[in-house]
Structure 1
Amino acid sequence: MSISCVSAEEKRKESEEAAAATAIMARDEKIGIVGSGFIGQSWAMLFASVGYQVRIYDANPDQISSALDNIKKQLKTLKESGLLRGKLTADQQIQCIKAASDLKDCVEGAKFVQESVFEDMEVKKKVFQEIDEFAGPKTVLASSTSCIVPSKFTADLAHKENCIVSHPVNPPYYVPMVEVVPAPWTSKETVNMTRAILKEIGQSPVVFTKEQPGFGANRIQYAILNECHNMVTNGILSAEDVDALIRDGLGYRYAWMGPLETALLNANGMEDYMDRYGSTINNISKLLGPTPSWKKEDSKILCSQLESWLPTEKLQERREWRDVRLIALYKLKRDMKDN
């Protein structure tokens, strides 16, 4: 006969965790999600992970039903793989996420509203005008837009001081960085609330002091893409070799630290780095190619090589391959308690 022995310390921890989960579950603060595509689904899951009561809305009712089914499937898979966020069970988190009957039901009484509709200026304007009608005086109205500055679609709103961009990286559940970009009229309270709630749900907010087109991640990404385009088009490197430069080189370091810290660790501080490499950076930078047009007729070499390497019909399979590896990296960074 075997006897199961549970220490007093283990019982105490279990009791504390159960109490914490009960307290989280008891919260009645509401989050509105407008747009039920993949990004909207990820936001819903993140907010539910800490017990927010999430209401998700989409102009297409069939899309909401499909989104809820997919969220349920994802949360159960996350539980099985040990990657579920928060102290609530998968079933408790699923219970936190419900379909909104209409936009008013989604927005009214919400603490925070996250919009994730199509990346189109006119669509953003229309949706935010509708959201603004039902928003409370302190409701934060955030957009997932990847490059449209908030002043372009919030200028005429009654609650424009509550509007802000909260732009995640796809997929947000495994890539925590979020760009927080205020409009010129966004209040300090809105910025602080957005930063606090993103940290609460386990994301890593990067807060801008002012808006700029493309924000930060895309501007850096575009600078890299421009030189990649030039090297392939000029026959210096193949498309596969260009990607290998990042994948098997810089990417190893950038998965753990940014380019500035990378530079610091390659010298004895930034001033020493500049003494060693500053003139070289300056001289090479002057030789970088012009910005490509990024029109398909001017990019035939690049497009042809990429199609041969990764045919269009294989892209979904490759996306799934990518996500498996991002999940593994997320788990590694989480387990190592990376800051």
Structure 2
Amino acid sequence: AAAHGDLKTIKRLLSGGTPPNAKGARGNTALHAAAAEGHTAVIRALLAANALVDSRAADGCTPLCRAAEHGHSEAAATLLVSGADPGFVTPKYSTPLFMAAEHGHAAVVEVLLRGGADPECWNPAGESPIYLAVQNGHAEAVAALLAGGTHPDTTTPEGLTLLQLAAKAAAKGDLKTVKRLLGGGTPPNAKGAHGNTALHLAAAEGRTAVIRALLAAHAPVDLRAADGYTPLCRAAEHGHGEAAAMLLASGADADFTTPKHITPLLMAAERGHAAVVAALLEGGADPERRNPAGASPIYLAVQNGHAAAAAALLAGGTDPDSTTPEGLTLLELAAKCGQVRV
């Protein structure tokens, strides 16, 4: 009756002496069942009959856990007003706030935070409510957590910033979460694992919409990671031509040199990313800039059999009469390496 919201039957049973705390399948009480379905009138009737607000089912969950898990904010508020513990921890180290955040129930998140839930609690895996909300792409829950006191500089167990985690989730189209984080005060230049920013990660994965949002929030375009790479280096290395063009249009240094004296053009040419090569040359990259071993971009493209990249380099101003560090012409290098297509 509680699960179906049958208030008349509930009242009749209670007045007839049915104990409000009787447990049924899986140790659930009628209050658990009503909370799971969001039947607030039934919840009020059960509480008025002295139903235990924090009774535990066989899985260790309270009625508030059920309301949080299933997204019933009014039911959650009713339970909290009656003394439900907002910080209750289940045997699996979850809390109502964890459940609501993981499932994207923003209204429940707001109710729990107003009721005293701790937004900075962590489970044994090092995960926080906002980590779960960001990871699962729940932008509104993220916004509610930030508004409720979650620190925007929180990092994940893997050492990622929240923006980096959202940028990874953007592979699933999660641009809303990125924007919510930026709007909630998350710094766009915060560094996470290996000194990468969200812009580095978005560039490495070619997430142009995320790149655009980060640049609009004034993310530094040439900030260096621990290995000395800029976001443009990441885009060049992984072959994302549109991302590279976007970064260049925002002022990225086309000829930036890493601590190992490698430029984005050398990276793109060596890996055969012709679209990136074209974008870099259009953005002003020097086609004749060589690495410490004396290898030029076209040397690397020819040596590795990347015909399209070699063609892009020639079209972009590379001297066709260039010679290799060994004194070979480009044709001789192609023949030596067996690169017939080049």
Sort the TM-score into its range (normalised by shorter chain). Answer: under 0.3
| TM-score of the two chains, using structure 1 as the length reference | 0.26
- Give the greater-gyration-radius structure (CA): 2
**Structure having the larger proportion of residues in strand:** 1
